[in-house]
Amino acid sequence: MAADPVTDAAGHGAPDWRRRLFQPAAEGDFRRRTRDWVQLAVVAVLLVLAAHHAGNVTASERALFDLFNTLPNGLAPLFRGLYRLGTLWAVGLVVVAALVARRWRLALVLLIAGVLAWGTARAIGQIVVAHEAFAHSVRIAASFGGSPAFPAVRLAVTVAVISAASPYVARPTRVFGWTLVLGLGVAAMYLGVTFPNDLFAGVLLGLGVGALVHLVFGSPGARPTIARVTAALDHLGITARNMRLADRQPQGSTVLLALDDDGPLRVKVIGSDEAQSRLLLKLWLGLLYKDSGPPLSLTRVQQVEHEAYLMLAARQAGARVPPVVVAGSAGPHAALLVQRPASGTLLSELRPDEASDDLLVQIWENVAALQRARIVHGDLDADHVIVDADGPWFVGFDAAASTGKAERMTTDVAELLAATAALAGEERAVRAATGVLGRSTIAAALPLLQPAALSPGTRHLMGNRRREVVARLERLRVAGARAAGVEPPELTQLHRISPTAAVMAIGALVAVAALLADVGDPTEVWATMRNAQWSWLALAFALSLVANVAYAIGLQGTVPVRLPLWPTTEVQLGMSFSNLAIPAIGGQGMQVRFLQKMGVDLSSAVAAGGILSTVG
C-alpha cells in the first residue's frame, strides 16, 4: 500500500521539489501489474510487424519524413538541442533518483531499462533486420548524420527510461517526459536520422523494455491509497478509521480492514489492474474451457453491485452471508464493496475432530439456501467457508452467478462434498449432504468428483499425491452412490495389462503400418523433403493441426461440463491415428472414454460424438 507522505532517509518530510518530482509511494510494496503483461504482448506483436516492414518506406512515410526534414536550416540548432535533451533527460532521471533523491531501487531499475533498451535495439538492428554493420550502426546512433537506422536507438533508450520511471514519478514529470519523446521524434526526422517506422519501432521497444522491467522487479502504485479509499467511503456516508491492508489478499482485488461506529469493516477495492486481470482470466478460461469463468461487467461499479446483489439475495434466502454495507464508486479509477467481515476459522484450517455432524449439516443447509435462490457460488471450496461459534459463513462471491441451470449448481455440491470429505471422512460427509439436499442432487454430483473438476485447493486438501486424491475420490463416489441408491459412475480404470490395452497396442502397430504405406518409398520422401520450401511446409503442418483445435472447441459445446482445451485437442489428434487402425470405431471409442473421464455420462458422451460429426 502506498504511504501517504514521502519521507527521506531520516524519516523527515521530503522537500517540496521531491514531492513534485516523485510519486508519494513507498518502495516496499511492489506488484506485477496486468497492464504490463498486456503491454509487453501487444508491443511484441507490433514490433515484429514493424521489423518486417523495416527498409520498405511507403509514400506516406516518405511524405511525413520530408515534412520535417525539409524545414528551414535555421532550425538546426534548436532540433539538435532537443535531440540531445532526450538523452540528458533519461540520464538525469537516473542521476537525480540515485544521488539526489536517494531512490536507489528506482535508479537501478532505470539504469537497467536504459542499458537493456540500447542492447536490444542494437541486436534487432544488426541481427534481425541487418540493415547496417554493427560498428556503423553504433556510429549512426551516436551522431546526427548518416542514413536512418532501425529501430531508433536513442528514442528507444529514452522511452524505456521514461516508461520504467512512470509508476515512480509524479504526473507533471510524466507529462514532460512524454512531451519530450514527441519532440525527440520530430527532431530525429528533421536531422535525417530515422524514418517514421524506425521511430515507431523505437517507441515500441522502449515501452516493451519498460513493461519487462516492471514485471521483473515489480512496480509501486498499483493499489489505491488509503487516503483515496477513506475519501471514497466518506463520500458514500461511511466514516472509516484505522484502515489497513488485510493480511490475506485475494486474487483480483485489494482488501482493506477498517472500523466505523458500528464495528469492523471489510473493504474490497477493484482498481484498473484488478479489472484487467479479471478480463484476462475470463479470456483465458474462455479459451481453455467451455465455462468462461467469472462474470464480466461493463464497469467495475457494476461488478461490485452484481456481487453485492448476489450476497443480499443469498442472505435473504437464508444463507449465512456477511452483511453488505454499501457498494459504489471509489473515484474514477476504482470501485468498492463494503461489508461486515466474518470472523472465525477457515474450513480448510479446521482439525478433523472440529468438523462435527452439526457443522456439516449447517454447511449443507447454506448450500440448499443458495440453490433455492438459484445462485451458483462458483468457488465453493474450503477456503471460502469460515466457521465460528454460531456456524459457517459463505464468503467470496467474486465468481458467483444467478442461473436457472441445475447442472451448474451441481459444481458447488461436488466441490464442497470433496472438501468436507477430506476433513470429516467420506461416510459422514455423504450422510450430511444427502440428509439435506436429497439423493438426486448427490447422484448428479458424482460424475464431477474427479481431480480435473475440482479446484487446486480442494485437491491439496485431499492429499499431497495424485494417487491419494484419486483413491479418496473413488471412495467418495462409491459412498455417494450407495447413499443415493444408484450405481457408481463408470470411469476409466487403470490396469497393468488388459484386453483393451492389448487392442490399443495392436491398433497402434496397424496405424504405424498404415502411415508407412501412405508415405511410400523413403528415398522419394527424402528427395522431396530436400527440395521442399520449408515456409510452406510449416504453414501446411500448422493448418493440419488447426482442424483438431476447431473440433476440440466444437466438442466443448456439445456437453454440459467443462472440457480443458489442450487435452481435448490431444484427443482429437489421437483420434486421427486411431481411425487409421480402426476406422470410425477407434476414434469414437477414444472420445467416449475421454468424455466419461471428464464426468459425462455414457449416453451423453456417445451422443456428443454424433452431434459433432453431423455439424462438422
Listed ranges 70-74, 170-174, 339-343, 569-573; the one with the highest mean pLDDT: 339-343
Give the whole-angstrom CA distance, residue 286 versus residue 563: 11
pLDDT > 60? residue 334: yes
Q: Which residues pair with 22 in a beta bridge?
A: 169
Any residues with CB less than 8 A from the CB of 255 and at least 6 apart, and which?
245, 246, 248, 249, 266, 267, 268, 269
Residue 237: what pLDDT?
A: 86
Q: Are 144 and 76 in contact (CB under 8 A)?
A: no
pLDDT band, residue 50 (cuts 50/70/90)? confident
Any residues with CB less than 8 A from the CB of 479 and at least 6 apart, and which?
426, 427, 430
Q: Long-range contacts of range 3-10, CB-CB < 8 Å, 24 or more positions apart?
A: 4/225, 4/226, 4/227, 8/102, 9/102
**Cα–Cα distances in angstroms (integers) from residue 272 to residues 38, 43, 364, 398, in the given order:** 13, 20, 36, 16
Residue 297: what pLDDT?
A: 58
What does the DSSP 8-state code read for residue 31?
B
pLDDT > 70? residue 616: no
pLDDT band, residue 495 (cuts 50/70/90)? very low
Q: Which residue has the cell 457443522?
A: 359
> φ, ψ for residue 335 (rounded to 5)?
-135, 155
Q: What is the mean pLDDT of residues 24-28?
A: 41
End-to-end CA, the chain: 53
| 412's grid cell | 458447488
Q: Which helix (H) or strand (E) holds 121?
A: helix 104-123
Listed ranges 27-36, 102-111, 260-269; the one with the highest mean pLDDT: 260-269
Question: Of 240, 290, 237, nearest to 265 (Cα)?
Answer: 240
pLDDT > 80? residue 513: no
Q: What is the mean pLDDT of residues 179-190?
A: 85
Residue 6: what pLDDT?
A: 34
Q: What is the mean pLDDT of residues 230-256?
A: 83
**Cα–Cα distances in angstroms (integers) from residue 50 to residues 37, 199, 221, in the given order:** 20, 10, 32
Give the whole-angstrom CA distance, residue 576 versus residue 552: 13
Helices marked H in 531-564 — which ranges? 534-556
Q: Long-range contacts of range 358-361, CB-CB < 8 Å, 24 or more positions apart?
A: 359/387, 359/391, 359/392, 360/420, 360/424, 360/428, 360/429, 360/432, 360/433, 361/432, 361/435, 361/436
Q: What is the mean pLDDT of residues 529-551?
A: 76
Residue 216: what pLDDT?
A: 87
Give the whole-angstrom CA distance, residue 179 versus residue 82: 11
Residue 358: what pLDDT?
A: 94
Q: Are 480 and 431 in contact (CB under 8 A)?
A: no
Give the whole-angstrom CA distance, residue 120 versus residue 204: 12
Q: Which residues pair with 254 in a beta bridge?
A: 269
Output the furthest CA–CA distance in the chain (Å, rounded).
94
Q: Are 400 and 307 in contact (CB under 8 A)?
A: yes
Q: Are 346 and 386 in contact (CB under 8 A)?
A: yes
What does the DSSP 8-state code read for residue 486?
S
The DSSP line for 329-388 is: E-STTEEEEEEPPPPSEEGGGS-GGG--HHHHHHHHHHHHHHHHTTEE-S--SGGGEEEE
Give the whole-angstrom CA distance, residue 338 versus residue 160: 39
Give the whole-angstrom CA distance, residue 91 versus residue 84: 11
How does strand 391-394 pair with strand 385-388? antiparallel
Residue 138: what pLDDT?
A: 47
pLDDT > 50? residue 2: no
How much of the chain, in percent, has pLDDT values that exceed 90?
21
pLDDT band, residue 314 (cuts 50/70/90)? very high
Residue 252: what pLDDT?
A: 67
Q: What is the pLDDT of residues 427-459, one digit of tens each?
A: 999 999 999 999 999 999 998 888 878 888 898
Residue 384: what pLDDT?
A: 93
Instruction: Give a three-class secondary structure readout of 266-292.
Output: EEEEEEHHHHHHHHHHHHHHHHHCCCC
Listed ranges 290-304, 376-390, 524-538; the one with the highest mean pLDDT: 376-390
Question: Of 339, 340, 410, 337, nearest to 370 (Cα)?
Answer: 410
pLDDT > 60? residue 24: no
Q: What is the pLDDT of residues 137-179, one digit of tens each?
A: 444 444 444 444 678 888 888 888 888 888 777 677 777 878 8
Q: Are 187 and 83 in contact (CB under 8 A)?
A: yes
pTM of the shown model: 0.60
If you average pLDDT over every residue of the chain, what do you get? 78
Question: Of 272, 254, 382, nearest to 334 (Cα)?
Answer: 272
